[in-house]
Amino acid sequence: MIDYGFTEEQLMIQELARQIAEERVRPVRAQLDEEGSHSAEIMQVLAESDLFAVFIPEEYGGLGGGALELCIATEELSKVCGGVAVSYAATALGAYPIMLGGSDEQKKKYLPAIASGEKLAAFGITEPNAGSDAGGVETTAEKDGDSYILNGSKIFITNGGVADIYTVIAMTDRSRGARGASCFILEKGMEGFEFGKEEDKMGIRASATRELIFTDCRVPAENLISREGMGFILSMRTFDHSRPGIGAQAVGIAQGALNEAVDYASERIQFGQPVSSFQAIRHLIADMATKVEAARTLVYQAARQVDSGAKNISKLSAMSKLFASEIAMEVTTNAVQIFGGYGYMREYPAEKFMRDAKITQIYEGTSQIQREVIGLEVIKEAKFRDKK
Amino acid sequence: MKIVVCIKQVPDTTEVRINPKTNTLIREGVESIINPFDLNALEEGLRIKEKMNGELIALSMGPPQAESALKEAIALGCDSGILLTDRAFAGADTWATSYTLSRGIRRIGEVDLIICGKQAIDGDTAQVGPSIAEMLDIPCITYVRKIEEIDKSNIKAQRMMEGGYHLLESSLPALITVVKEINEPRLPSLRGKMRARKEEIIKYSAADIVCEIDSIGQMGSPTVVEKIFAPPVRDKGTMIKGEPSEAAAKLVSELKEKGVLL
């Protein structure tokens, strides 16, 4: 066992998340995947176990942890099911804009219900014409007295429909581009706020992904987070905080696939011996394990950097998400290879890990966007270094 | 409402291995858990506590390491844990165990309801629950699969029977033993785990619970275990495959051949 320097509380989170994953998620994961259904029952178990409280400050009903605690829980859930894990992690994503930019009143109103797990949260920025280019948001928010009128739609929203609290990016001033974006808190049931298409996905099928539609949706001005024009900056800060969580999801998926592959390789007999006794397989396993460990260490380091309160966390956060997601894709693909023909069959768990892994390279910023973030930061740092 | 749940720490396996020389259980390398039926007892206790705003105490008799089972009970939501631990308690059979636990309950004072699992997965006797009730001279309902009603002075419960149930009513204080069908035990919470870490487990020795010294431990145990053995492994049997009509015909002919059917 490797000592990651976790506190006693962090070890408890790990142990409990692992127990929930094994006892409550594993027995139903194939069924959830097959049906493509979000499990309210499992969310209830996570809620009763206080796992939604780990990333929320104590003064707002949480247990006062941060990104590392979120990563630990997400990784354990992902080892069994990446879909259940993202339903959990996406609630943190939806809560981050409130935690990072919300007023004390907004925090008091929304965070305790998220911490207790009574309400799930979701974050909405993506639109048909605004994916990697977050500045292309077309949803508008027009000021009207002491409220804003939202019009437009969001797509591919994790927890869409099942969450009660939504943090949504809309343009308050389209002429200013990204600087004209603002962030609002919406609640399920608000007039003019409806849910559209439910997506049928390749992986993470145990999570809900849905369209949000705003038709003259009136949102009280007090639900504006921070001030007008801060939406884009708030989104970037949110991603800086949440990306290690996706890294942790990727590490969990990779580790889960690796575990299955190692067990299988030790049992599968070919040419009169377990396939794990062949160097070709053994070395493949060695590379997989080494890469997963490297990704994990980078994710924990990024999470610790986030929790330290350091100012510039973009680069390391992006690195952890980029590296872990690329490793997850590689490791899960190799896990299928180790399973051979059985790996390609739905009956065995290997192919699900591979399908679940792919999304980690895409959402919360594609691998290409992560490289942009990292590249720009590294070049910026180099200029600063030369001046010294 | 004061509720006591009696729990036992058992080895985490249903295939307990036995040392053929000493005829005792091999515990080395086997993780200890709370007896699964006792988890149902705890869950039912927690539900009553939550509904009636009561106090829930987990009670166990065992070696000092049984403290971890009581900590787990606190992590699940019990208010406190009491461990009856003393070298003099060692080697107790079901009679001495029941006596010791009943003395421990007396020491706690006024108790309205005692809940036990129907039996422990290591010994499988199902004797301790009813024996405690007998020694405390209170009513007992065994194999409870559902509590229909409970208030401060009465309980109405379904006692599981083969193919049905008895509906029994009793005054309180009483003891019930529960079957696994009664509920699905919850998992611990983080807050519970954190509280359990800090909470002190109360420990009572033989002197603390006021008991007859010749009624506890091995000395107080009328049962003598002559021999413990693993049952012989049964043959695998034959699987008759194929179409149902053909398989049935084959089964009948084989049974006739063996003289089972004439």
Inform me whether the pLDDT recorded for A293 exceeds 80. yes
Report the C-alpha gap between A84 and A128 in whole angstroms. 25
A210: closest CA of chain B, how far (Å): 31
Residues A309-319 have a mean pLDDT of 95
Is the pLDDT reported for residue A222 higher than 90?
A: yes
Residue B258 included in any domain: no
B113 falls within a domain: yes
* Record: contact B189-A48, CB cut-off 8 A: yes
In the predicted structure, residue A388 carries a pLDDT above the cut 70: no
User: B36 at the A interface (CB within 8 A)?
Assistant: no
Question: Which domains, ranges and CATH numbers included, belong to chain A?
Answer: 8-120 (1.10.540.10), 122-229 (2.40.110.10), 232-380 (1.20.140.10)
Q: Do B194 and A12 touch (CB under 8 A)?
A: yes
Return the pLDDT at B23. Answer: 64
Q: A209, A199 in Cβ contact below 8 A?
A: yes
Higher pLDDT, A245 or B22: A245
Residue B77 lies in a domain: yes
Q: What is the pLDDT of residues A47-97, one digit of tens each?
A: 999 999 999 999 999 999 999 999 999 999 999 999 999 999 999 999 999
Which residues of chain B have a CB within 8 Å of the CB of A63? 190-191
Full DSSP string of A2-49: ------HHHHHHHHHHHHHIIIIIGGGHHHHHHHT---HHHHHHHHHT
At B72-128, the pLDDT tens digits run 999 999 999 999 999 999 989 999 999 999 999 999 999 999 999 999 988 889 999
Q: Is the pLDDT of residue A104 over 70?
A: yes
Nearest CA in chain B to A52: B190
Active site includes A364? yes
**pLDDT value at position A387?**
65
Kindly report the CATH number assigned to the domain that includes residue B20.
3.40.50.620
Does the distance separating the beta carbons of A19 and B191 come in below 8 Å?
no
Is B13 a domain residue? yes
- Facing B187 at nearest CB: one of A9, A49, A53: A49
CB contact residues (below 8 A), chain B span 10-29, against chain A = none
Domain count, chain B: 1
Q: Which domain holds residue B82?
A: 2-215
Q: What CA–CA distance (Å, rounded) separates A349 from A328? A: 15
DSSP E strand boundaries for chain A: 121-124, 140-144, 147-158, 165-171, 181-187, 193-198, 209-220, 224-225, 269-270, 273-274
* Residue B237 forms part of a structural domain: no
Nearest-CB residue to A9 (from B187, B188, B194):
B194
Classify residue B101: in a domain, yes or no: yes
Chain A contact for B194, CB < 8 A? yes
Domain membership flag for residue B222: no
- In a domain, residue B228? The reply is no
Catalytic residue (choose from A48, A267, A364, A381): A364
pLDDT per residue over B189-227, tens digit each?
999 999 999 999 999 999 999 888 889 998 899 988 887
Mean pLDDT computed over A185-205: 97
- Work out how many CB contacts closer than 8 A connect A with B: 33
Q: How far is B98 from chain A (nearest CA, A)?
A: 33
Instruction: Answer left, alpha or beta for residue A145, where phi above 0 means left and psi between -120 and 50 means alpha.
Output: left
pLDDT tens digits for range B113-151: 999 999 998 888 999 999 999 999 999 999 999 999 999
Q: Which residues of B touch A20 (CB under 8 A)?
A: 187
pLDDT at B38: 97
B191 touches chain A (CB under 8 A): yes
Check B190 against A19: CB less than 8 A apart.
no
- What is the band of A275 on the pLDDT scale with cuts at 50, 70, 90? very high
* Average pLDDT of chain B to the nearest whole number: 91
